[in-house]
């Protein structure tokens, strides 16, 4: 499913203890007829009663109890963001187990983690939702600087000695420059083949978090 991804991402779930297998080309609609089949699936399922659907699309951004009550009789496609915490509560321990790292950091990555583990460290995550081709545009969903300013003020009141670290996929943006000017330290992704998972692992070494509007962050 990553073949047409404008962000040029790769599947990283193999670095976690996730049950399952990688979808085949046909299952992920990456085969030549995939776009057409996916369109047909979505259209047909839109008219089926909810319990009979095999392609479930998110209908609202907040919690949808009708989906939460479903008792599935077969494997289904699930499309959407599903970011409400109410979906997560019943399977919290399953997710924690699934998202246990099997990936082991190299020595240079481990050295970067040492201050994060020893200090009152705060991960400040900036997510911009821009593909490389659109890197110079203004992202629609970027959180404003005021969100981060308020969060930093709260943290510094509770933890005066907090060390603030910025993690981002686009370090050259104005928002990151603003945070650096406020005394935050930018954490550069280590130059290793699996740098994305290394960056994510380093985020988890921090003690506190200012989350972005992103499931990656959440």
Condensed to tens digits (0 to 9), the pLDDT of residues 81-96 reads: 888 889 888 889 999 9
Q: What is the CA radius of gyration of the chain?
A: 20
- Give residue-wise pLDDT tens across range 20-78: 888 888 898 988 899 999 999 999 999 999 999 999 999 988 899 998 888 888 889 99
Q: Which residues contact 158 (CB under 8 A, 6 or more apart)?
A: none
The pLDDT assigned to 127 comes to 87
- Our separate counts of H helices and E strands in the chain read 8, 6
Buried/exposed 98-125: b ≥16 CB within 10 Å, e otherwise:
eeeeeeebeeebeebbeebeeeebbbbb
Q: Which tokens in the block code for residue 115?
A: 């201050």
The pLDDT assigned to 63 comes to 93
DSSP state of 13: G
Nearest to 49 by CA among 81, 14, 73, 84: 73
* Local structure of 41: helix, strand or coil: helix
The pLDDT assigned to 69 comes to 87
CA dist., res. 88 & res. 97, Å (int): 13
CB atoms within 10 A of CB 29: 19
Of all residues in the chain, the percent with pLDDT exceeding 90 is 56
pTM, two decimal places: 0.81
Examine the pLDDT at 140 and tell me if it is beyond 80: no
């Amino acid at each position: 499913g990553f073949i047409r991804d404008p962000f040029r991402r790769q599947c990283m779930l193999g670095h976690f203890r996730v049950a399952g297998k990688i979808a085949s080309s046909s299952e992920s609609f990456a085969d030549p007829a995939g776009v057409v089949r996916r369109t047909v699936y979505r259209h047909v399922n839109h008219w089926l009663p909810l319990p009979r659907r095999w392609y479930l699309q998110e209908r609202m951004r907040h919690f949808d109890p009708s989906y939460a009550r479903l008792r599935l009789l077969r494997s289904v496609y699930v499309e959407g963001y599903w970011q409400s915490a109410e979906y997560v509560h019943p399977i919290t321990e399953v997710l924690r187990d699934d998202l246990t790292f099997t990936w082991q950091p190299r020595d240079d990555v481990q050295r970067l983690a040492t201050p994060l583990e020893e200090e009152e460290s705060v991960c400040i995550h900036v997510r911009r939702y821009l593909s490389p081709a659109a890197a110079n545009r203004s992202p629609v969903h970027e959180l404003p600087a005021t969100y981060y300013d308020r969060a930093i003020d709260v943290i510094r009141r509770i933890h005066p000695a907090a060390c603030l670290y910025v993690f981002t996929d686009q370090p050259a943006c104005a928002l990151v420059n603003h945070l650096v000017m406020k005394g935050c330290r930018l954490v550069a992704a280590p130059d290793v083949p699996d740098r994305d998972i290394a960056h994510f692992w380093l985020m988890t070494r921090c003690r506190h978090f200012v989350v972005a509007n992103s499931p990656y962050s959440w």
